Each structure stands twice: as structure tokens, then as C-alpha cells.
């Protein structure tokens, strides 16, 4: 090999090294950073059963099919006022209902089970609890809650009686279960008795 050929090879090697250090390595680093960021986002994003906003919802029904209890509240439109229709008709606490609807709109699940197609084994086709959400466009989403899952104090559930099968933490459903015993009625404000005798404060 003559000197000219040697110099040419050394020059080509030097150019290749510069390319790797100046171009390829930064590109690889950027790709790795993007991948790590995407994985981080995927790990932190909540597992949403559905994603709804308060102004989409015009009706909510919570039904315990074992005890035969139902609490339901509706409004005539997305901008209307809420009223309780079950267990007994009555005016609703607008703030309490809005808070319930807001949290219900971002209902989360613990895990998704894709390895089964036989939903009957999990009692979700004959649910003990149902939570229905009606939208202004007429769409209804219904969460069907079945039997308890074996781990993490959770239960099995599906939406509208169809796969996928979810597990949900029981604590996620607690606030909706309380609606069965304490419907969101508007509590009357106490009116002072004008005939009452004032009590002097020493």
C-alpha cells in the first residue's frame, strides 16, 4: 500500500469519525430522550374508563341492583339546572352534583384484562351496581360492576356490557355509592324565627 492510499484511507476514517461524533450520536441521543419521555408520559397518564366534561352530561343514575336502591339526577340541557328524580323528586344541590359529575367524567380503572372473552364468569353481565351517564347528544355510558377481584380491594367492571374487562379499585366507586344513601338534595336554609326572643350576650 503506497502513501497516497494510506492518506486517503486515513482521511476517510477521519471524516467518518467526525460524522459519528457530530451527527449520528446527537441524533441517537435525541431519539433515546424522546423514547424515555414517551414512556414516562405513558406511565403517568391515568387509565380512563371514559373522558367526559361536565357540560356534556345531562343525567346520572346510580343503581344498586342487590338492595334495590336508585339515585338519579338530570337536567333539561347542558346549561340547565339539576334536579333529583330518584329516589324521590326534589331540588338538587347544584354544587354537589357538579362535583360528582366532574369526578365521574374522569373515572379510572386499575387494569385492563384482555386475555378473556367470557364476561359471564365475572358477574358483569348481571351486575350488582350500575352507574349510567347520559350526554346531551343522547349517548349513554353505563358502568356495569360485577364481583370482587382477588387483588387490591378491587372489582370487575365493563362499559355497556361489553369487553374490555376492567378491574377498578373499590375506593374509586365509594363516592357514588354514598349517593344511594344520601342523594344530592338541596338542603333548606334555616329561616330565623321573627318571634324568637333575642338572647343577650354578656
Per residue in 3-18, pLDDT tens?
Answer: 566 555 566 666 665 6
Residue 87, pLDDT above cutoff 90: yes
Q: Model confidence over 150-189: pLDDT tens digits?
A: 988 999 999 999 999 999 999 999 999 999 999 999 998 7
The per-residue pLDDT for 189 is 74
pLDDT attached to residue 41: 39
Q: Kindly provide the residue ranges of all beta strands, DSSP E only, lying in the chain, ordered along the sequence.
A: 57-64, 69-74, 83-86, 90-91, 111-113, 129-135, 140-148, 154-159, 162-169
Domain containing 37: what range? 1-45
**DSSP assignment, residue 123?**
T
| Claim to verify: residue 91 and residue 117 sit in the same structural domain | yes
Q: Parallel, antiparallel, or unpaired: how do β-strands 57-64 and 83-86 relate?
A: unpaired
- Tell me how many domains the chain contains: 2
135 lies in the same domain as 74: yes
Confidence of residue 38 (pLDDT cuts 50, 70, 90): very low
- pTM reported for the whole predicted model: 0.72
Amino acid at each position: 500500500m503506497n502513501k497516497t492510499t494510506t492518506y486517503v484511507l486515513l482521511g476517510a476514517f477521519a471524516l467518518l469519525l467526525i460524522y459519528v461524533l457530530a451527527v449520528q450520536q446527537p441524533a441517537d441521543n435525541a431519539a433515546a430522550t424522546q423514547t424515555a419521555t414517551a414512556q414516562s408520559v405513558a406511565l403517568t397518564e391515568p387509565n380512563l374508563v371514559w373522558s367526559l366534561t361536565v357540560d356534556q352530561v345531562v343525567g346520572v343514575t346510580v343503581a344498586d341492583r342487590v338492595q334495590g336502591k336508585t339515585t338519579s339526577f338530570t337536567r333539561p340541557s347542558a346549561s340547565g339546572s339539576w334536579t333529583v328524580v330518584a329516589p324521590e323528586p326534589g331540588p338538587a344541590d347544584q354544587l354537589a352534583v357538579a362535583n360528582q359529575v366532574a369526578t365521574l367524567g374522569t373515572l379510572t380503572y386499575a387494569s385492563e384484562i384482555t386475555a378473556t372473552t367470557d364476561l359471564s364468569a365475572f358477574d358483569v353481565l348481571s351486575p350488582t351496581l350500575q352507574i349510567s351517564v347520559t350526554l346531551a347528544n343522547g349517548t349513554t355510558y353505563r358502568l356495569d360492576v360485577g364481583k370482587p377481584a382477588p387483588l387490591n380491594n378491587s372489582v370487575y367492571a365493563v362499559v355497556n356490557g361489553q369487553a374490555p374487562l376492567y378491574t377498578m379499585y373499590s375506593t374509586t366507586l365509594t363516592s357514588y355509592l354514598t349517593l344511594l344513601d344520601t342523594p344530592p338534595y338541596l338542603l333548606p336554609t334555616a329561616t330565623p324565627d321573627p318571634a324568637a326572643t333575642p338572647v343577650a350576650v354578656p
